[in-house]
Homo-oligomer: A and B are copies of this chain.
Amino acid sequence: MKIVIVGLGVIGGSFAMALKEAGYREVYGIDTNAQTLQKAREMGIIREGQTVGDRLLRDADLVILAIYPQLMRSFIQNHLQHLKPGCVITDATGIKGMFIEDILAMLPEEIDFVFGHPMAGREKKGIDFASHQVFKGANYLITPTKKNKEKNIELIEGLAYEMGFKKVRRITPSFHDEMIGFTSQLPHAIAVALINSDEEGRDTGSFIGDSYRELTRIANINEDLWSELFLGNKDNLLKAINNFELELDLIKKAIHDYDIETLKQYFRKSTKRREGLDS
């Protein structure tokens, strides 16, 4: 199986590393940055790389798109004529609703796009931060469409397990985006708001423990990627933020009313939920 990864950034690079580790030998890369391709070759995670890549795509049995959400539609449009009939495409995008229908409308019957989302990443961008270790034990989501062939969904599922993911789930694109708005985008919005709400000049670093460090780690954020993810999932994210603010307002009210029993009730609920999360 010839695999072509499009975009050898932190996620595409991690895919290449994980595929190498899993024993795949025919892995190729397409990236607009020639230095990135050079690095990937030196790391031994791709056999060959191209900045244009039409030729590589023509031979690809599997194409993995690890590019920004906004580029998804145009990439398919521009490369439709280079894709091999019978090939399978998958992606790594954190939102689905904004392009799935458009892409399905563009693709001919003989090309099958299995949309996927590896729930692992790093805040830093670029191949230098790629690591297949982040995939180990992580969740992988697949959002099948009516056009998908079962064997192709199973191909991606199998690949995910081979790359070290622990749990692979199939869900609808709309439920995917609803959940991701809550579990991924909301935490990023919170982390950014938390650190931005600090007042200037307080030497905050001297007053922090693990909790502040942990809650703000993802405030170090790739602004291009995450602004696209936020805006591409606008309604779900706004709903998640609003639900979160309602809960925070409940806590605020309990503090304001000096209502210790209600506070403890919220804490017991959160403790139970957190303990249940990893079980």
Residues of A that sit less than 8 Å from B by CB: 119-121, 134, 138-139, 141, 167, 169, 176, 179-180, 182-184, 186-199, 202, 204-224, 226-228, 230-231, 234, 237-238, 240-248, 250-252, 255-256, 258, 260, 263-264, 266-271, 273-278
Residue of B nearest to A194 (CB): B244
Whether A120 pairs with B209 at a CB distance below 8 angstroms is yes
What is the total number of copies of this protein in its complex? 2
Whether B139 pairs with A209 at a CB distance below 8 angstroms is yes
Whether A204 pairs with B244 at a CB distance below 8 angstroms is no
- CB contacts (< 8 Å) of A202 on chain B: these are 179
Whether B274 pairs with A223 at a CB distance below 8 angstroms is no
Whether A277 pairs with B211 at a CB distance below 8 angstroms is no
- CB contacts (< 8 Å) of A247 on chain B: these are 192-194, 196-197
Residue of B nearest to A259 (CB): B231
Whether A208 pairs with B268 at a CB distance below 8 angstroms is no
Given contacts A139-B208, A214-B217, contact A193 B248 (CB under 8 A): yes
Nearest Cβ distance between residue A262 and chain B, in whole angstroms?
9
Whether A207 pairs with B139 at a CB distance below 8 angstroms is yes
Nearest Cβ distance between residue A55 and chain B, in whole angstroms?
35
Whether B194 pairs with A186 at a CB distance below 8 angstroms is yes
From A120, A217, A267, name the one whose CB has the most chain B CB atoms within 10 angstroms: A267
Residue of B nearest to A271 (CB): B220
Whether B195 pairs with A273 at a CB distance below 8 angstroms is yes
